[in-house]
Structure 1
Amino acid sequence: MTIEIAHIRQAQERIFPYVQPTPLRPSHALSERLQAKVSLKFETMTATGAFKLRGATNKLLNLPEDQRARGVITVSSGNHGRAVAYISKALGIRAVVCMPEIVPPEKVAGLRDFGAEIVIHGQNQDEADAEARRIGQRDGLLFVSPFDDADVIAGQGTIGLELLEVAPQLDTVLVQLSGGGLMSGVAKALKSIKPEIEVIGISSLHGAAMLESIRAGKIVTVEEEPTIADALPGPIPPDNRYTFAMCRELVDDHIQVSEDQIAEAMAYILHNEKCIVEGAGAAGVAALLNHPDRFKGKNVAAILTGDNIKVERALSIIAKAQSPRT
């Protein structure tokens, strides 16, 4: 299946009862600092606090009735698991979420609060993924990929539609890269409507599997390291169907950001936008703050992708960061 703008428009109509458009707000502080027109897309305002609800909702609403009756399974320690659990509960669908043993107890409790059945298995994401697929085959549960799925990608792409509906004059959009589900959908929507728009992928310096794969011209394995932006790293499976090809085709440029830059961006967002975001959610702002000349005079948007972080941890990271300057 080739993902087209029509699929994204269909997803926008399909998910609307469950996922309303999120605000795109001008950032006075960033605009003044960069001498540009900067807007921020607040995906923190969805019901689960992250953009992942869009893709999960589109996927589950598009399931045939017999599969809805059997249920779904996924692997996630964060926003994707929360999204699948939330929309499954709303639709009355059984949802199982597999997580590795290293996941903090509060994240496990959070998913249970959303109504998911939890399976703890393995030392890492790959082992949890393998267990999820095994259980899915055994119990007839559909595996819902966090990113490499046509319906999931189309759902995430609705962000791109909303950006240009509100700000058709945008020159540049910064999108977190990660496994490519968000980027594939948003870039497809943006480029389909406005081919000349510049789309920049934002990756961390740790475990940037998609970026390294694009550079290598093939899917590669990278070493994962602990990071405050834990939603950004992660492996790209060798059987990837969509996101690698779409990201390679649609992304115009790439920026990587460091741990310190992400922490400083989290502090900057709290002080200037009055919003707590997780590390990955601050990555686009980190790129803006550290490459001001790159965006001078442009009309640019960045996405605050999620707020799935304990307030205490966020404040601890922010306290250690350099004091922001407006």
Structure 2
Amino acid sequence: MLDVAAVLEARQRVMEVARRTPLDYSYTFSDRTGAEVHLKLENLQRTGSFKIRGATNRIAHLTDEERAAGVVTASAGNHAQGVALAASRAGVDAKIVMPEYAPVSKVEATKAYGAEVVLHGVDYDEAQGRAHELEREEGRTYVHAFDDEHVMAGQGTLGLEIVEDCPDVDTVVVPVGGGGLISGIATAVKANNPDTRVVGVQAEGASAMAQSLRKGEVVDTDEVDTIADGIAVGHPGSLTFEVVRERVDDIVTVSDAAIARTVVDLLERSKTLVEGAGAIALAAVVEEAFEYEEGEVVVPALCGGNIDLNVLRNVITRGLVEDGRYLKVKTTLKDRPGALENLIEIIADARANIYGIQHERTSLDMSLGGVEVELDLETRGHEHVAQLIAELEAHGYEVEVLV
């Protein structure tokens, strides 16, 4: 099983490529939770995530023959970029298989880091199948995203930084997909102080590791569905499972809604951009998904910042809806002069801001003398939303909330 000696040995190799990322005390989230919250800003890492750490350490262990043959892996994002940069820095040829649907920004970033990108399949499983074919056909070494002791040891260097920069840490909170990151961090943290708690966090729609711990064996989930695509793993690693079972104190889950709210809060209050997987550890703290005491020193790992801009737009909208700050409604007006003006006046008097209006006169569900109107509104919280809807209904409007 992975030990702290392997993590310490990995450190020098990793630091030749990766950055030591900051640990930032958050007044905002400390005030909100009552804990002393220090954010581990791994979203500022090279390639935008922690994956560069494990990839660097794995490639450093290649034999001369393996280096000459090159490496291959499958990924839709962070692991791809980590392997690409680590291999390029080591002078090793890398071939990365990515699904055909992978965001163009991530494909181009992976190429820019020096790897050859092969687009194959509609999802990660098909891309991984092709990567293993290339492994056999070309004699390349497959670099696993998490179920590899060298990868886990490299990820564990993040844990070393946490305990050095925050010696009095009580609880470290870590995102969990396949388990590579938390295996490395837990190994480093528990070796420093066995009493320091390590809590893993998964999305409700991708909770394979949490389910595996409950059943005492590795189990697959039939379906994975979460906005935290960086930890959308349906099958945990067998090696990581053993480390997690021995060294992790608890694994909890949070909803996509909580993740979206935290992405928005970090952007707005901390000026910090993270992806869904990067926000989930802090979301667990804010949502009190596990118990902690007043004044407890808590370090959530913000493990990545690679979020596609289209996804970011949707996540921000979802977060605003969850906070009661965005509302999309539909109602019907009589098709006559002044009808829209009357509606707008009611909304303005209720102190809501109109982002957009859409008229629809051709709906088959509407009478010939009516106009269907959809409004995008900026609101000031859930109480304000309720007041606005009540005011519209009091004036005779039938209101359907769309978002």
TM-score bin (small chain): over 0.9
How far apart are 1:101 and its partner, in Å? 2.8
Provide the rounded CA distance (Å) in 1 between the counterparts of 2:74 and 2:289: 37
* RMSD value, Cα: 1.8
Describe how 1:166-315 pairs up with structure 2 within 5 A.
166-236=165-235, 240-291=237-288, 294-295=291-292, 296-315=294-313
Provide the rounded CA distance (Å) in 2 between the counterparts of 1:81 and 1:153: 16
AA in 1 matched with 2:300: A
SS of corresponding position for 1:231: helix
**Native 8 Å contact 1:73 1:141 kept in 2:** yes
Describe how 1:102-181 pairs up with structure 2 within 5 A.
102-181=101-180
CA 1:292–1:144 in 2, change beyond 3 Å: closer, same or farther? closer
How far apart are 1:109 and its partner, in Å? 2.3
How far apart are 1:215 and its partner, in Å? 1.3
**Runs (4+) of structure 1 moved beyond 4 Å?**
none
Corresponding residue of 1:95: 94
How far apart are 1:98 and its partner, in Å? 1.2
Corresponding residue of 2:63: 64
Provide the rounded CA distance (Å) in 2 between the counterparts of 1:122 and 1:20: 33
How far apart are 1:202 and its partner, in Å? 0.3
Write out per-residue CA displacement over residues 4-28 of structure 1, whole angstroms, 9 at most, x where no aligned residue.
Answer: 1110001012221211311011011
Percent identity reads: 39
Gaps in structure 2 of 5+ consecutive residues: 326-379, 381-403
SS of corresponding position for 2:183: helix
Gaps in structure 1 of 5+ consecutive residues: none
If asked which structure has higher relative contact order (CA below 8 Å, sep 6+), I would say 1
Corresponding residue of 2:339: none
Higher radius of gyration, 1 or 2: 2
TM-score (norm: length of structure 1): 0.94
**Native 8 Å contact 2:229 2:277 kept in 1:** yes
SS of corresponding position for 1:294: coil
Corresponding position: 1:318 with 2:324: no
Provide the rounded CA distance (Å) in 2 between the counterparts of 1:259 and 1:9: 35
Corresponding residue of 1:7: 6
TM-score (norm: length of structure 2): 0.76
How far apart are 1:113 and its partner, in Å? 2.1
**Native 8 Å contact 2:2 2:243 kept in 1:** no
SS of corresponding position for 2:46: coil
The worse-fitting range, judged by mean Cα deviation, of 188-197 and 130-139 is 130-139
